[in-house]
Amino acid sequence: MKLLNVVLLILIVTNIQSQPDFPPCIAFDSIGKDTIKVLNSYSNSLYAGIDNEVVINKKYVPFKNIIVECAMGMVMEDDSNYIIIPAKAGQTLISVYQYDSGDTVLCIKKYMNVKRVPAPYITLDRIKLTDYDYISRELLLNLKYFEVHLSEDLVDDNWYTIKSLVFGYPVGQHYISKSCDGTILCNEILEDIKKIPAGTEVTLIFTISSSGDIFKRLSPIKIKIY
C-alpha cells in the first residue's frame, strides 16, 4: 500500500507540473487581473486572420517600454494599443514583457480564445434573412435597408458592406430577375413585389465587399411572400 501511495503521489505531482500555472479560457491572466482587453470583441476573444485591436491596462502594467508577443500569430503596435493577428482558431498565449537597458522581463502571460471568423449573413430588421420562411409583402415594401453582419460578438461589425442584390421569382414557365446596387430594393423591384401573387417563392442573392474591395457572392436565399 505504501508503494502504491508513492506512485499515485508522483503521478499527481507530475500532472500538476505539466499544466499551465493558471487555468486557460478565463478572464484573468497570470497576475490575477483582467489586463488584456480586445476592443472589437464583447467576449474578449481574438479572431483568426483579422486585425484584433488590443489594449494593455496600464494600471497593472505601468511600464513605459513593453513588448507584446502572440504565440502563432503577429503583433503590431498601433499608437498606444496593439494589433494582434492569430494564425489559427483555438487558443493562443499572449505574453507581455518589460524591457529596459537591454534587459527583458516577462510580466504577464494569458491564454486567450481564438475564434474563426464566421460567415457573413444578411439581416432584415436585425433578424437573419435565412430565419424567414415567409415574409410579408408590406415588410418588403416598407423596408429601409438590408444589413450584413458577421457575429453579435464583434463590436465593430463593419467588415463587409452590401454591394448589390439580385431579386428573382418565377412567372409561369419563365423566371424574372432584376438587380440593384446598394442595400435597398429599387423602385423597379418594389413595383414587382406589389404584383407578385401570395405564396410566390422569391430568391435574393447578395454580393458583399470587404474594406479591401474583395467581392463575395453569398448563397441564394429563398423566401415565400404572403
Same domain, 91 and 127: no
Closest CA to 159 of 176, 144, 147: 147
Same domain, 38 and 125: no
Whether pTM > 0.95 for this model: the answer is no
Give residue 148's pLDDT: 92
- Bridge-based pairing of strands 147-149 and 160-171 is unpaired
Residue ranges making up the domain that contains 26: 22-115
Domain CATH number, residue 159? 2.60.40
Digits of tens for pLDDT over the chain (226 positions)? 443 343 333 333 333 333 333 334 455 677 778 889 999 999 999 999 889 999 998 888 888 888 999 998 999 998 779 999 999 999 999 999 988 777 888 888 999 999 998 899 999 878 899 999 999 999 999 988 899 998 888 887 678 899 999 999 999 899 999 999 999 999 999 999 999 999 999 999 999 998 767 899 999 999 999 9
Q: How many domains does the chain have?
A: 2
Q: Torsion angle of alpha carbons 41, 75, 160, 216, nearest 10°? A: -130
Same domain, 206 and 126: yes
Same domain, 133 and 70: no
Instruction: Please give the Cα distance from 12 to 88 (Å, whole number).
Output: 32
Same domain, 214 and 163: yes
Phi, psi of 155 (to 5 degrees): -65, -50
Same domain, 129 and 156: yes
